[in-house]
Each structure stands twice: as C-alpha cells, then as structure tokens.
Structure 1
C-alpha cells in the first residue's frame, strides 16, 4: 500500500483563514507531530535499516562473484555471473530508495521549519525535540559507521602480499565503505533533526 502523503506546507499569508490563534496552533501541532513521526518514527527506522540490509547483501553477492571469477573456470564464471545479477538487483533499488529517503527528509525538515514559524506551543514543541528517538538513530548509526571504517582500513592495514587478492580487497574495502556510508546517513538524519529542534523550538516564534 502507498504511504499517505506528507502534511503540506502551511498556506501562504494571504490565504490563511484560521478563526483564532488556538485553531492555528491545533493545525500546527497535528502537522508537526505527523512530520516528526515520519522523520524519526518506527516505520522510518524499519525502512531505513531494511534498505541498508539490502545494500549490504547486494555487495556481499558482488564480493562472492569477484572471488568466483578469480577461479577462472567455466562453472565458477557462470556462478559468478548469477551472483553479479543478484548483487546489482539488490544494490540498485536499495541505493535508489535510500536516496529517495534523503530527499524526503529534506522535504520534511522544510515543512517542519515552515510550520514552526507560525507560532509557539511549548507543550507540543517539547515533544517534537524527540531526543530519545534522535539518540536511537544516532547510536546504531555511529556503531555501523565505526565498523565500516574498521573493516576497510583495518583490512587494508593487515593485507598480506601474495595471500590477499584483489577480489578480497574490493570486497572488504567496498563493504566497509557501504557500512560507513549507511551509518553516516543515519547520523546525519539524527543530528540534523535535533539541531533543527534546538535552533527552531528553543524560543517562541513570532506569530504570523
């Protein structure tokens, strides 16, 4: 099933027709709660980590293909070709979905900023900061990025001439870069939301 659309931007000043400031704050609260949930909620986390897992599995298939190609025999080359197709079939959609997620996060932040400028509601704004959810995104993302750096740099530092092959180098360094990139995306998402919350929700905004 397709996702419901994001809450829209607030109407331009000349089209705003809230009967009073309380009605404005009510619409502001509903829109910002939904935008915050779509940014850092459980569905967003599940989708992000599933796409990340698909990307890792795809690169693993590519690594297996490279190792089989080094064998040089006909059965190995045929098996390697199958794994290349499987790997590309996993990497391409995962990368596209992660890229769409980054674009969607930018739209969410723009709409949060626009709704936040309409007024101030301390009770709602306190929940929108979501430090717990930001931390839940930050910690596993940091751990994944650290593992990625260790996998790529550690393998490169410990590589032995004559024993480790180019296929091994491509697999381990590439896998490390994939893990580091996914972890970096998660950290940027968490830190970006919390920075927006501290900057935009710290003090009451002016009324329209």
Structure 2
C-alpha cells in the first residue's frame, strides 16, 4: 500500500520473474518514469520551498508569541490582555504548522521507501547516472548550510548582546530572537540531513559503471 497521490510500488520479485519480454520492458519504462518523479518529489525545488514554507509559518507564529512576551513585560494597563491574545494567536499558527510538518515527514518517508524499492528493480548503472547528480544535493546542502549558520549567528549574537549590555534588551526580546534563530538552525539541519542521506543512498545504490577497457 502507498499513500494517495504517490506512484504505485513495483511488482513483487516473484511476479517479475515470470513476466514476458514485453511486460519486462514496460516495467523498466515505468521504473525510469517513476524514479524521476520520486526524485523530483524528494529533492526537487518544490520540496525545498515546502520546507521553507513550513519554517516561515512557524516563524510567524513565534513572532506572535514573541510579541506576547514583550507585551507581558510592558507596564501598560492592558499588557496582560495583549500578551495573552498574541500568545494564543501564535499558538494557533504554530500548532497547525507542527501537524503540517509531521504530515510532510510521513510523506517523505513514503517517497523514500518507494524510491528505494523501485531502484532495486533491474538497475541500470548507465541509465541511473542522473540519480547521482550532485546538482540537487549541492543546492539543498548549500542553502541549508547558509540557513543553519545564519540561525546560529542570530542565537549567539542575541545572547552576546544581552550579556554585553545588561538591561539593554528585555527577556522577551532575547527569547524571541534566540527562538527565531533556533527555527532557522533546525530548518537548515533538516535540509542538510536530507541531502546527506540521499547522497549516501545514491552512492551505494547506483555505483558508477566500470570503465571500459579497450584492447589495442
């Protein structure tokens, strides 16, 4: 069984063993088409944009929570009311984003299982060379590294500024800034982990074809 909207799994090995030549060619054609589709769903630009969209929604929710924390620290007569409203709005944004993120993780696992299953069907090292292409992996790795480094910088810069200038920033401001940097850092780590896992699998599953030795 597979998730709705995903390609079907490959035929079982015992069924493939009794297929005629026409059916074998059809399975091989399906393999090429489905592997390309699954590769796009796994490391395509759309998946990276989806990861950033989830992070942006969580960051928006955290901004509302941060506004609530800052309102709690103010001395206005309605600070507690405003702080509670902003905190509830932030939770109302972040909780659905968390469920959305969990759904994306489950779908990624289903895509990965299908990708591994179809890759084992009549592998063709020459035809599968595109799966070892470093382009998508480097794109994910570089953009995720930039996000992780910037997130760490935001966290340490906020903590260092608060330490260097006691009283210059409120606890709410520091908490908001460190939380925002943590969101960026975790998002970058998720992208790096996905790119690294795909690279390790592709290298093992699709080794380069042996060089052709030409006789004299």
Is 2:151 aligned against 1:125? no
Go from structure 1 to structure 2 and tell me whether the alpha carbon gap of 1:24 and 1:188 turns closer, same or farther (over 3 Å shift): same
* 8 Å contact from structure 2 (residues 129, 208) kept in 1: no
Aligned residues: 202
* 8 Å contact from structure 1 (residues 130, 194) kept in 2: no
Residue 28 of structure 1: how far off its partner (Å): 1.2
Tell me which residue corresponds to 1:32. Answer: 35
Tell me which residue corresponds to 1:200. Answer: 205
Uncovered stretches (5+) of structure 1, i.e. residues with no partner:
none
* 8 Å contact from structure 2 (residues 62, 90) kept in 1: yes
Give 3-state SS (helix, strand or coil) of 2:46's partner: helix
CA RMSD in angstroms comes to 2.1
1: distance between equivalents of 2:93 and 2:43?
Answer: 25
Residue 96 of structure 1: how far off its partner (Å): 2.0
Out of 183, 190, 196, the residue aligned to residue 188 of structure 2 is: 183
Q: Deviations over 1:70-108 (max 9, x none)?
A: 114332322222221221122112222222222222222
2: distance between equivalents of 1:130 and 1:87?
Answer: 41
Question: Within 5 A, what are the aligned runs for 1:41-190?
Answer: 41-159=44-162, 160-190=165-195
2: distance between equivalents of 1:18 and 1:181?
Answer: 47
Go from structure 1 to structure 2 and tell me whether the alpha carbon gap of 1:85 and 1:133 turns closer, same or farther (over 3 Å shift): same
Residue 12 of structure 1: how far off its partner (Å): 2.1
Residue 19 of structure 1: how far off its partner (Å): 2.6
1: distance between equivalents of 2:151 and 2:133?
Answer: 27
**Large movers: runs of 4+ above 4 Å:** none
Tell me which residue corresponds to 1:5. Answer: 5
* 8 Å contact from structure 1 (residues 25, 121) kept in 2: no
1: distance between equivalents of 2:127 and 2:36?
Answer: 8
Residue 142 of structure 1: how far off its partner (Å): 0.9
Residue 4 of structure 1: how far off its partner (Å): 5.9
TM-score, structure 1 as length reference: 0.86
TM-score, structure 2 as length reference: 0.83
Uncovered stretches (5+) of structure 2, i.e. residues with no partner:
210-216
